[in-house]
Structure 1
Amino acid sequence: MKHSIVRVPPLALAGLMLVACANPSVPKTPVPASKEVATVNTASPAPYRPSTLAEHPELTPEEIGRRFLALIDSLKSFDELSGGRVQEVMRLPLTRVSEKDEGFLTMTLPGSAWRYSFSYGVNPKYRLLTNAVYEFHNENEQTGDRALEDMGPVCRLDFNAYEAALKGMSFTNEHASYGELGQLLALQYVRNDMRVQIIPRREANTPDTKLNHACVSSISIHPLDP
């Protein structure tokens, strides 16, 4: 079975130790907290700015993570991924930049330089370009293994929580990608015709408990390679 290897900056620790944390476990079938469906925004002349927790206090990093897992579990086939399904399950105030079936949301975390973003795009002509992504960025973080910012503020759902949820959905760990120095770059999980990719990274450089604790910098949904 052929899998795409996604190259990412060498942020993952060589020989990354995947240590469980004491955070609350993710239910097998996560349920979004809100019953209200958000309306997809249309493009406007005003410059885009990230949303804040003051505007959407329910959309914490872990809540969007749970909703993303719920989206994954709702897809019995990859071809069920659509804007309608995204809104039905995730209930996010997405911004649309075109008439295409795509949208995104970026949130800022108060008191930190962390941002977390969800985006999806459906390309009916090129199936391999269809995907959905949930990822984290820090404005102060620079390229280089020693420049990692503490990911603790956005790591209440850590690697082990995401992996346990995927395995509870009957995904199997099919493949791992490594860099030239042996550092772990990404892991692939497969169910039916769908592939979920997780890019892990350590929580921080120090202390050892954070150095050896695996968080998630990105989780994404893709079609299984032919």
Structure 2
Amino acid sequence: MNTASPAPYQPSTLAEHPELTPDEIGRRFLKLIDSLKSFNELSTDRVRQVMRLPMVEVPEEDGGFLAMTLPKFAWNYIFSYSVDPKYRRYTNARFEFRNEKERVDVRLLEDMNPVCGMDFNAYEAALMNAGFKNEHASYGELGQLLALQYVRNDVRVQIMPRREANAPDSKLNHACVESISIHPLDP
């Protein structure tokens, strides 16, 4: 009897999948978003067909994910999705960026340059070209922009922008994307 526990999950690297750069996954995610004329079209089959990623499947959630890491910069980028046929509001897909150093010390704001080849302007331009309209912005207590909502038909896309870094001024004033996600438009 084998009592050894399975090895812990390790994110993939560009050495394993050199084509799966942050920009490439971002382009595929935008293609997935554009392919949805109705939110009901977001399905496991659609995600697999459009994203073409070597995902870890999570059958109990009818979903999956791919995590990639850039160890030199401590950045991870993760695509994940979940399809809930019973409760549509729980169905979603998400592409996000996380920094391990920031996870340890939340006061840090690491330079996003390694994962910001496609910046906020590129994502927003692609959504606008696909017919999405900027519908709403959410702000924090101090007036900082937290998220932007884009809508086409019954598909809502949320982008959480983030400045590239604290310095120099060019990075302070340059918007990257911390996460982008697809949701049903609330009735």
Compute the TM-score of the two structures, normalised by the length of structure 1. Answer: 0.78
Q: Deviations over 1:164-208 (max 9, x none)?
A: 000000000000000111010000000000000000010000000
Match of 1:143 among 106, 111, 135: 106
Higher normalized contact order (CA 8 Å, seq sep 6+, divided by chain length): 1
1:62-111 alpha-carbon deviations (Å, 9 max, x no partner): 00000000000011110111111011111000102334420001000142
Which residues of structure 1 form unaligned runs of 5+?
1-43
Secondary structure (helix, strand or coil) at the match of 1:92 reads coil
Q: 1:80 aligns with which of 27, 38, 41?
A: 41
SS in 1 for 2:57: coil
Deviation per CA, 1:90-146, whole angstroms, max 9, x where unpaired?
1000102334420001000142100000000001111111000000000001323xx
Match of 2:79 among 93, 118, 135: 118
- How far apart are the structure 1 equivalents of 2:182 and 2:83? 11
Q: Which residue of 1 aligns with 2:21?
A: 60
Determine what percentage of the aligned residue pairs are the same residue.
Answer: 76
Deviation at 1:158, TM superposition (A): 0.1
Letter paired with 1:87: R
Q: Indicate if the aligned counterparts of 1:82 and 1:101 stay in contact, CA closer than 8 A.
A: no
Structure 1 or 2: more helix by fraction: 2
Aligned residues: 181
Report the Cα distance in structure 2 between the residues aligned to 1:96 and 1:170, rounded to whole angstroms. 31
CA RMSD of aligned residues (A): 1.2
| 2:10 corresponds to 1:49 | yes
Aligned partner of 1:90 in structure 2 is 51
Q: Distance in 1 between matches of 2:58 and 2:124?
A: 32
Distance in 1 between the 2:27 and 2:71 partners?
A: 20
Counterpart AA for 1:166: L
**Alignment pair present for 1:193 and 2:160:** no
Provide TM-score, normalisation by structure 2: 0.94
Higher strand share: 2
CA contact (8 A) 1:114 1:154 kept: yes
Candidates 103, 125, 136, aligned match of 2:64? 103
